[in-house]
Amino acid sequence: MSVINVLVLRVLFMSGAIGTAIYVEAEGWGLLNHLILPVWADGLLALFVLDLVVYGQHVLFHSVPFFWRMHKVHHSDIELDVTTGIRFHPGEMVISLFIKMGTIMLVGVSPGVVLIFEVLLNATAMFNHSNVTIPLTVDHWLRKLVVTPDMHRIHHSVISEESTRNYGFNLSWWDRAFGTYRHQPSLGHEHMPLGLEQYRDPGHLTWPHLLALPFLKDPNIQPSNQGALHNPEQVSERDRLKRMVKTEAKALM
């Protein structure tokens, strides 16, 4: 039932984005509505911009404590599968919708392109959160264009140096271009604990608890990439997590 509810919410929010695009097109708003480009070039440019905005939004949700409180619901999953791709707090979905609507208005994205992007975004989100195994050679070549499950799984590592890498959802180019790409986890995929260190008990990961999670007191706010380098207390916490992960790995061997 919870999965059905989330899917219904996503369809409603998708409709909001498409409705915005219809209004923008009718009013002639946005950069692309003032450029003379072939239809295919207009569409591709809009898709690239939307995907880049999703990447930037993802970095923002990890860097700003208020946004992280919403986004950590997604990261609380300790076993990745396709359902992780739709595991987002409604508050994050609302914020994401407003960011997307603003982008559509500024860029002038057509309704058809918005629909294509939404289908691609949801499909790739479920694909790169899935637990399928792709041969290393195939994965190597796929990563040159799109985000693969192994590439994105690193982003869900307990270790902060890994969870602040591989932000992309669709195209893998942005992580490479902005220096947030990581090829492999330090402990390998088999021994890499997933989720959040402070939320390991499955009994605390029920939907009622997850809905309340952003509003519960949590002293372990995810630091930004810069803060982790300069705050001694955060560095100490990072080292403690490393030791914890290594202990878990040894126990598994």
Mark residue 94 as left, alpha or beta (left: phi above 0; alpha: psi -120 to 50; beta: remaining): alpha
DSSP track, 109-127: --HHHHHHHHHHHHHHHHH
Q: How high is the pLDDT of residue 232? A: 37
What are the pLDDT digits (tens) for 169-198?
999 999 999 999 999 999 999 899 999 988
Spatial CB neighbours of 85, under 8 Å, sequence gap ≥ 6: 122, 125, 126, 127, 128, 129, 130
Which residue do the tokens 């707090």 mark?
89
Q: What is the pLDDT along the chain (253 residues), one digit of tens a residue?
A: 355 556 666 677 788 999 999 999 999 999 999 999 999 999 999 999 999 999 999 999 999 999 999 999 999 999 999 989 988 998 999 999 999 999 999 999 999 999 999 999 989 999 999 999 899 999 999 999 999 999 999 999 999 999 999 999 999 999 999 999 999 999 999 899 999 988 888 777 888 888 999 998 764 444 444 333 333 344 444 455 555 554 544 444 4
Phi/psi zone of residue 146: left (φ > 0), alpha (ψ -120 to 50 degrees), beta? beta
Closest CA to 196 of 68, 67, 56, 55: 68
Burial group, residue 160, by CB count within 10 angstroms (0-12, 13-18, 19+):
buried
pLDDT of residue 209: 87
pTM: 0.82
**pLDDT tens readout for residues 137-151:** 999 999 999 999 999
Q: Looking at residue 152, what is its pLDDT? A: 97
